[in-house]
Structure 1
Amino acid sequence: MSEHGNPSNIYDRFAQVTKQTHDLVANMEQLQAQVTELMETNAELSIENDHLRTMLKKMHQQKHDDDHLSGSRENLKKLYQQGFHVCSEYFGKRLEQNESCTFCLDTIFGHDQPTIK
């Protein structure tokens, strides 16, 4: 009888294939668990990323709003650009050519300083 026809040999081969199949199924279950874990982590990170983007946009918008001049300061800036002092020291006087005035710039762009007690 040939090797392939021997019933014990066939049974051994069948047992070996069955074991390999069980091992393969166990490996696939482990991979499935890892994929599930990675997908959950990815979903959590995507949500966190979206939240951080939203916060960054809000922070950027607030910074942009803070840098924006009020209407009255815009008017002072235009007067200054036309060559007039807007500071309380020299208000309305003409600036010399290529002259700049720190007091005017502070009046236009300066922020309210908190008072020291």
Structure 2
Amino acid sequence: MDKKEIFSQVSSIEERIGGLHDELRGLKEQLALLIEENHYLKVENENLRKRLNETVEQEEAIEERDPAKKKPVGEGYDNLARLYQEGFHICSTDYGSIRKDDCLFCLSFFNQK
């Protein structure tokens, strides 16, 4: 090998290392964004869990004071909930048809007091 070939090989390796360095920098930036998003989602999840627990505790307190306000429980209620989860309307206006998004009428059934 002569000096020009060695120099060209070194230059080629240097270019590849520079490309890898740029690629690594991009991955590092993406990782930082993912870590930040993960932290945000963990905090939001904790807040939602606290809020859910507060809501459940309030509902239980209401049920203890007035047992007539308990939500309907039974096989029929479970079947309607399953149908809704499978993507069908359970409201009287569109019962049995396929739903594309959440339906306020169907959701009102679950939120009856």
Deviation by residue 1:34-71 (Cα, 9 ceiling, x = unmatched): 0000000000000000000000000000001100037x
Aligned to 2:53: 57
Once residues 5 and 56 of structure 2 are traced to their aligned partners in structure 1, the CA distance between those partners, rounded to angstroms, is 74
Runs of 4+ in 1 over 6 A off after TM superposition: none
Instruction: Indicate which of 37, 42, 48 corresponds to 2:38.
Output: 42
Q: How many residue pairs align between the two structures? A: 69
Distance in 2, Cα, partners of 1:25 & 1:32: 10
| 1:8 aligned onto 2:21 | no
Instruction: Report the CA distance between 1:109 and its aligned residue.
Output: 3.6
Task: Give the aligned partner of residue 25 of structure 1.
Answer: 21
Alignment gaps of 5+ in structure 1: 71-107, 111-117
TM-score (norm 2): 0.58
Output the CA distance in 1 between the equivalents of 2:19 and 2:57.
56
In 2, Cα distance between equivalents of 1:109 and 1:21: 73
- Residue type of the partner of 2:22? A
Task: Indicate the RMSD between aligned Cα atoms, in angstroms.
Answer: 1.6
The two structures have a TM-score, normalised by structure 1, of 0.56
CA distance in 1, matches of 2:24, 2:43: 28
% identical aligned pairs = 20
Q: Which runs of 5+ in 2 are unaligned?
A: 70-113
Bigger-Rg structure (1/2): 1
